[in-house]
Chain A
Amino acid sequence: MANGAKDKNTHAAPELDEAQAAHPTHDPGHGPPPEPGFWRKYVFSTDHKVIGIQYGITALLFLLIGFCLVMLMRWQLAYPGEALPLIGKLFGEANMPDGVMQPEFYNQLGAMHGTIMVFLGIVPLAVGAFGNYVVPLQIGAPDMAFPKLNMASYWVYFLGGVVMLASFFVPAGAAKAGWTSYPPLADIETMGQTMWLIGMLFLITSSLLGAVNFLTTIIQLRAPGMTFMRMPFFVWAQFVTAFLLLLAFPPLEAAAIFQLMDRLAGTSFFLPSGLVVSGEVLDVAGGGSPLLWQHLFWFLAHPEVYVLILPAMGIVAEIIANNTRKPLWGYKALVYSVIFLGFMSFIVWAHHMFITGMGTTISAFFQVTTMIISIPSVVILSALFISLWGGSIRFTTPMLFALGFLPMFGIGGLTGLPLGLAPTDIHLHDTYYVIGHFHYVVAPGTIIALFAGIYYWFPKITGRKMNDRLGKIHFWGTILFMNGIFFPMFIQGMAGVSRRLYDGGQVYQIAEPVIHYNEFMSICAWLLALAQIPFIINFFMSLKKGEKVEANVWKATTLEWSAAPSPPVAHGNFPKLPTVHRGPYEYSVPGHDRDYLPQDEAPTVAVER
């Protein structure tokens, strides 16, 4: 059986080769293409590697901006009403008179922190940067299927970011209705909310262009012999992620259009009849429903959670296989889990809405689907844990981050279970427990994995390795202070402290026993910022002075390492398109001199048969 399958695969490869030979990739009529100028090469480039780097740099900057916003908020939470020393007066009389933060400004910071981190920071870094750079290389493609769309996708994303940032400077400032933009509040908000909606439309368009491109690339441009079950797990994760982006974002686009109509054309899609604002009945047609927004919003925003986490899992899987020097445990189970997870993520959205008064039947349905979706997540995490068993682990910097991801994502995932069940969720809803839960998934989870990816693929992109000592300082500082910030949130949340409180819960008696954690969490947040300095120094220093390394520095099996130089060839990636002969993780195969067998290495007959 196994032999038969192998025969079929080795057969398929030459056929594809012929198909490519029939359409020569080099047109003999033209010579080599002329070297593009500066603008074509670095700014409006159609090369997926340059676009990936553009995405990466922009997204890292947005992560920094989003982090700065929350550091300001943490001052207010730790020391409510006290003037922010030194820089407090820079934010203007309207926002921080004499350095004291106004509630409206706090709300702007909160809404924009969430929006920037999710839509402008993590997704563009996980999908736009890593996906763009690594996926075509890992499947042996010369570029993305639609290079111009790829460029458009980046620039539309960039515009969306500009609109979002510009909204801070319109009258009354940026959006203040939270990153979820719940109406009716969002409907009657100031101009910043309109900017938020327009910015979101840009970001949705950008991810649509990206998703079409990723899917077409993975389906159409796999190298000869690269069957679906020989794709690295990272490619699978990006594949499912692209489907989520393709199909989950449009309903939010519909919702954004409805809300724009409400704000600009005076409709009442989300405004019920007889709504009283500031003591007066709102003069609108009425008859709308705020719940409609919540349904459409969470129809996107739940799959969005998996858009954040799946690429992270993909990165971790690559690094673990490479650094344990053995195959991933249960590759097929991982692949089927990630597909199943993608499907399920479309039918769990209403577990964000248990307290909206939906009936017990609907609530039961969404509790069941939510419990079911935790199964593939556990399968993936368990498979990654078991992969460590019996491996001779190399504790490289990327591996440290990948190992850090496992327990951190475990905490994030397990603390989500009480939120997926209505009886416990009703107590915990809208408390700091929720904040703690999803930050564990996103910060010590996803962001740690993204750091792992940066350390892992940096040598591929630049030809130089990042400094290990600074990397290790960065790792320990990050993991320690992230836990310092987010763990006390569980304690506060279980005590009943509500999220989005301007004073951190000072006026509530229930918060009294746990409110002292606020100061500790804030200090951890500022120390976390300090812990990022070694990373920033390391990043720029290694660009210029990092240790020069060979193309396959990690001795990896996947194509981006084994078949392409570092950095890969400018247009086309590979000196010669590779042919794939085996699965992605053939580490420590018995009977070989080396402990890794690259996917593109031609089999020696004696060993294979």
Chain B
Amino acid sequence: MDIPYTVTARPDTGVFNAKLGVWLFLASEVMLFGGLFAGYVFLRIGAPAWPGALHGETYAHASEVLNVPLATLNTFVLIASSVTMVMAWASLMMKNFARYRLYMGGTIALAFVFLIVKVFEYGSKFEHGLFPSESNFLAIYFTLTGLHALHVIGGIIVNTYFWGPGAKMWRTDPKRFTNRIEVAGLYWHFVDLVWIFLFPTIYLL
């Protein structure tokens, strides 16, 4: 016996199973990042200065330590990747598989751009001896952005699967495949949204 509502929506709830599942998963992710942000608030309230002293120098603003232009660039990169993700799904809805491939490829490429920028950002911190162990400011910076980067990597894995081997389903079960891209998209927008909160909280405030 097959499981009902894997592809079509259940009439009285209006969603198919995976869509509900991913929203619940995202609710849990909100609590995860909520806990991390709460930790940030807790530590910052208790700190005499923020970011405070690093290698004998005292900083008054996070932007003096972190690279705001690079992070701004990354913000636009992620927003652009969210747009291409929607376009990928929309292309499937319009039954245009070639265009789906193109947009999904774009999403993956932009995610890689984000990570490469991140590598440069981390690299220059390490070069200047700015490690997580130096101060709570750097500790929270590396923990939060690092965990976000892990989420980006997770998204790349999922999206690459749907770009490559997973796309075979388009020929056998196009409706279900389109649903999968919608669900993957919901996750990807969430990863984007987390960054939209992270960027001002850590780099600007």
Contact = CB atoms under 8 A, between A and B. Distances in A.
Contact of B139 (A141, A268, A295): A268
A269 B136 contact: yes
B36 interface: yes
Contact of A25 (B1, B28, B35): B1
B127 interface: no
Interface stretch (A284-292, A363-371, A450-458): A284-292
Contact of A289 (B13, B24, B43, B52): B43
A289 B1 contact: no
Given A142-B3, A146-B21, A212-B24, A261 B46 contact: no
Given A216-B20, A266-B133, A287-B47, A261 B139 contact: yes
A142 B20 contact: no
A219 B42 contact: no
B133 A285 contact: yes
Contacts of B13: 219-220
A250 interface: yes
Contacts of B25: 208, 212
B5 to A, nearest CB: 5
A560 interface: no
Contacts of B43: 269, 287-289, 292
A200 to B, nearest CB: 14
Contacts of A12: 12
Interface stretch (A13-21, A233-241, A319-327, A383-391): A13-21
A292 B42 contact: yes
A23 interface: yes
A342 B38 CA distance: 22
Nearest to A20: B4
A212 B28 contact: yes
Contacts of A142: 1-4
A261 B20 contact: no
Contact of B39 (A146, A211, A296): A296
A251 B32 contact: yes
A257 B147 contact: yes
A27 interface: yes
Contact of A267 (B24, B52, B132): B132
A345 to B, nearest CB: 14
B28 A216 contact: no
Interface residues of A, number: 56
A254 interface: yes
Given A23-B8, A145-B3, A215 B35 contact: no
B8 to A, nearest CB: 6
Contacts of A572: 1
Contact of B28 (A250, A258, A299): A250
B135 A216 contact: no
A220 B22 CA distance: 13
A52 B20 CA distance: 23
B34 interface: yes
B136 A288 contact: yes
B28 A211 contact: yes
Nearest to A214: B24
A316 interface: no
A240 B38 CA distance: 25
Contacts of B21: 145-146, 212-213, 216
B143 A267 contact: yes
B31 A250 contact: yes
Contact of A251 (B1, B31, B47): B31
A464 B58 CA distance: 74
Contacts of A27: 2
Interface in B13-51: 13, 15, 17-18, 20-21, 24-25, 27-29, 31-36, 38-39, 42-43, 46-47
Interface in A137-151: 141-143, 145-147
A292 B36 CA distance: 11
Contacts of A292: 39, 42-43
Interface of A: 12, 15-16, 19-20, 23, 25-27, 141-143, 145-147, 208, 211-213, 215-216, 219-221, 246-255, 257-258, 261, 265-269, 284-285, 287-289, 292, 295-296, 299, 571-574, 577
Given A216-B21, A288-B136, A571-B1, 15 more contacts: A23-B8, A25-B1, A25-B2, A143-B1, A145-B21, A216-B20, A221-B3, A251-B38, A255-B35, A257-B147, A287-B46, A287-B135, A289-B42, A296-B39, A574-B1
25 contacts: A19-B11, A141-B3, A142-B2, A142-B3, A146-B17, A212-B21, A215-B20, A220-B5, A221-B4, A221-B5, A246-B24, A247-B28, A250-B35, A251-B35, A265-B142, A266-B132, A267-B132, A268-B136, A269-B39, A269-B140, A284-B133, A287-B43, A287-B46, A289-B43, A571-B1
